[in-house]
Amino acid sequence: MQPLLSIENLKTVFSTTRGDIRAVDGVSLSLDAGETLGVVGESGCGKTMLALSIMRLIPANGQIAAGRILFDGLDLLSLPEEDMREKRGSDIAMIFQEPMTSLNPVLRIGDQIAEAIRLHQNVPSKEALARSVGLLDEVGIPQPERRVKDYPHQLSGGMRQRVMIAMAMSCHPRLLLADEPTTALDVTIQAQILNLISNLKEKNNMAVILITHDLGVVAEAAQKVAVMYAGKTVETSDVENLFANPLHPYTRGLIESRPSGCSSGMTTDSDTRLKTIRGTVPSLYELPSGCRFSERCDLVETVCRQAEPELVEIEKGHFAACFVAERAVKR
Ligand SMILES: Nc1ncnc2c1ncn2[C@@H]1O[C@H](COP(=O)(O)OP(=O)(O)O)[C@@H](O)[C@H]1O
Ligand code: SF4
Ligand SMILES: [Mg+2]
């Protein structure tokens, strides 16, 4: 069976006054209906540009330079813009960290959801408004008949994110791209929103790409995970394996720098000090030669500075791009 989404060797580049950079540099991944893939990595590693590439909505100075994005077998990159517009919102929807940037402050939320419905479906406005009440109910907004008349500023951050999710769900997408949907919310609300996304995914057999800088979010809500570093995927796995046996030193660093008590079952001794990954993410304008993580890696060897490791399958279904991890299995 072919996956719902299959990305092959995707490269998204930007032209800037300082030169060209590759924000997404050869990413491959796949996802089935009903699955959540967590995409994790520090800020600036290309997560948002990966999602915007799937939507074909990258900023004007960028272009998708190589690769394929197969959705249900159809290459999105070869679609005419008009057909792509149809896919957006109907088959593929996206939500963002800050709902306020996507909501119109001067329109009632019911009208905004109704508008989203009418963009893709030929229904009278009265019916669209009635459906938006149903959608608000579905995403857990109490008293939806009253709430449809609210303006965005009358809602809390968590409620606004629910409205965005309602809007995204209005045309029954088969793929939801959620870019740091809970980053701006406090922990309790974060858990509720993740729960909501998981429930909607189950109910609608939807695929979800959940972008986050927080491995705790991945542990909570994803089945598969792709770890990104400086535009590349450095490790992919199912979630359990990633936490049980992280292969890439960057992934290990991310796990060790998390507070204990994570729901994956990871524990740390109470007297174990949290580690941080030394150094910072390299600038895409000045990448080190060889492995992009080499300047921060405790295991770095001469070969790491000479060649760039490829993503290879180290154990079944578990891929990493690291010479040392690769050698450990060959032995
Ligand atoms: N319009 C643009 N022009 C040039 N570089 C950009 C542009 N948009 C994003 N980038 C760069 O692309 C890289 C990846 O960005 P992004 O995908 O937003 O990272 P993340 O979401 O992981 O924090 C960053 O180095 C960022 O500075
Ligand atoms: S290839 Fe070398 S530098 Fe890169 S992560 Fe592996 S050990 Fe570290
Ligand atoms: Mg981002």
Q: Which ligand places an atom closest to the C-alpha of 287? A: 1
Is the distance from CB of 145 to CB of 61 less than 8 angstroms? no
What is the pLDDT, as a whole number, of residue 330?
Answer: 65
What is the pLDDT, as a whole number, of residue 120?
Answer: 85
What is the pLDDT, as a whole number, of residue 328?
Answer: 84
The model's pLDDT over 234-251, given as tens digits with 9 standing for 90+, comes to: 999 999 999 999 999 999
Q: In the chain, which stretches have pLDDT less than 70?
A: 260-274, 330-331
| CA 44 to ligand 1 centroid distance, Å | 6
Q: How far is CA 14 from CA 43, 85, 106, in A?
A: 17, 22, 34
Pocket perturbation via mutation, ligand 1, pick of 12, 20, 45 by most ligand atoms within 8 A of CB:
45
User: Biggest alpha carbon distance in the chain?
Assistant: 68
Pocket perturbation via mutation, ligand 1, pick of 16, 21, 209 by most ligand atoms within 8 A of CB:
21
Looking from the CA of residue 45, the nearest atom of ligand 1 is 22
Closest to 50 (Cα-Cα) out of 240, 285, 212: 212
- Which residues have their alpha-adjacent CB atom under 5 A from ion ligand 3? 47-48
193/178 Cα distance (integer angstroms): 11
Q: Which ligand places an atom closest to the C-alpha of 43? A: 1
| CA 21 to ligand 1 centroid distance, Å | 9
pTM above 0.85, yes or no: yes
Counting beta carbons within 10 angstroms of the beta carbon of residue 243, is it exposed (0 to 12), middle (13 to 18) or buried (19 or more)? buried
The ligand 1 site (C-beta within 6 Å) comprises 14, 16, 21, 23, 41, 43-49, 59, 61-62, 284
Q: Which domains does the chain have, with CATH numbers?
A: 5-91+173-330 (3.40.50.300), 103-171 (no CATH)
253/46 Cα distance (integer angstroms): 19
What does the DSSP assignment read for 187-207?
HHHHHHHHHHHHHHHHHHT-E
The model's pLDDT over 194-204, given as tens digits with 9 standing for 90+, comes to: 999 999 999 99
Closest to 231 (Cα-Cα) out of 192, 186, 287: 287
Q: How far is CA 167 from CA 52, 176, 224, in A?
A: 18, 11, 25
227 ligand 2 Cβ < 6 A: no
Q: Which ligand places an atom closest to the C-alpha of 180? A: 3
What is the pLDDT, as a whole number, of residue 202?
Answer: 97
What is the pLDDT, as a whole number, of residue 54?
Answer: 98
| CA 109 to ligand 1 centroid distance, Å | 30
242 ligand 2 Cβ < 6 A: no
What is the pLDDT, as a whole number, of residue 331?
Answer: 55
Q: How far is CA 28 from CA 158, 168, 180, 235, in A?
A: 32, 25, 21, 11
